A and B are shown apart, each in its own frame.
Chain A
Amino acid sequence: MSHVELHVPARPEYLSLVRAVVAAAADLEPMRRDERVDDLRLIVSEATTNAMEAHTRVDSDERVLIRLDLGEDRIEVEVTDRGAGFEPDALETLPHVSSPDRLDFERGLGIPLMRVLADHHEIRSSEKGTAVRLVVYTSRHRPEPSTIVDG
């Protein structure tokens, strides 16, 4: 596997750079379906956004680490932050889309999207920070709409 590492300031303006690097890396081991590159860009954007927000919450000026491992059949991404951590299994459930209350929630879709779109995902979190590992295979079909981010 080839390895690429990015150490980026926890500032939102770096998100587009991270996405561009990830998409370019996917070109080195071309994915057989363009949608998988879209999936990869999206979930890396989600993980990096969360990492940047975690640093902002604890007023950390440390950089967020994005590590890419490029294999013949997969791209693995690990996004690591030094925030205060969170409990991945204790996320707030969004109201159903048929409820008027749904419009009161602007957040809460990032981690569900990662879970649906990555072929494998792992979140390790403690009070010393969080590492999110995401794996996307180059040939896997995207999820059927039944595997949906539910509210």
Chain B
Amino acid sequence: MDPTFRISESGPWTVLHVHGEIDMASAPAVRRAVVDLVGGGIRWLVLDLGDVGFVDSTGLGVLVGALKRVTSAAGEMTVVCGRENILELFRMTRLTAVFAIYDDVASACERVPSSPDAEVPPR
């Protein structure tokens, strides 16, 4: 089952809402979605995993790649995740030290981007 995506905006942040599971089957679609956003000039990205029920190591790899892509573009990416089984995966792999993880989208969008040139992009 392919994941589905929805995009919303809040201040400087673009939110990519993902629905589904992130594994080897769906990883290319998630990767493509992030590549398209960054390629389109998005620099402040919130990856919302609130509707993601399962992530495995391939999924974590996609998230690592997404973070690398966004930071390489001088941007910032945060993750929204409230599901204990997925949070535990972040903890076990110590990736809690790599990702800024929020419980909900509203909290993530309250974050002030660290880059001084972050501003609300023209929509």
Contacts and interface: CB of A to CB of B under 8 A. Distances in A.
A94 to B, nearest CB: 9
A30 to B, nearest CB: 17
B88 to A, nearest CB: 8
Contacts of A105: 61, 64
A25 B85 CA distance: 19
Nearest to B61: A106
Interface stretch (A10-18, A81-89, A127-135): A10-18
Interface string A73-117: 000000000000000000000000110001111111110010010
A109 to B, nearest CB: 4
A42 B56 contact: yes
Interface of A is mostly: helix
B106 interface: no
Interface stretch (B17-25, B39-47, B107-115): B17-25
Contact of B64 (A45, A52, A106, A148): A106
Given A15-B24, A149-B94, A103 B68 contact: yes
Interface in B40-93: 54, 56-58, 60-62, 64-65, 67-68, 71, 84-85, 88-89, 91-93
A97 B56 contact: no
Contacts of A143: 92
Nearest to A13: B25
Given A102-B98, A149-B94, A109 B57 contact: yes
Contact of B21 (A16, A106, A116): A16
A129 B91 CA distance: 32
Nearest to A96: B94
A13 B84 CA distance: 25
B62 A106 contact: yes
Interface in A9-47: 12-13, 15-16, 19, 35, 38, 41-42, 45-46
Interface of B: 1, 21, 23-25, 54, 56-58, 60-62, 64-65, 67-68, 71, 84-85, 88-89, 91-95, 97-98
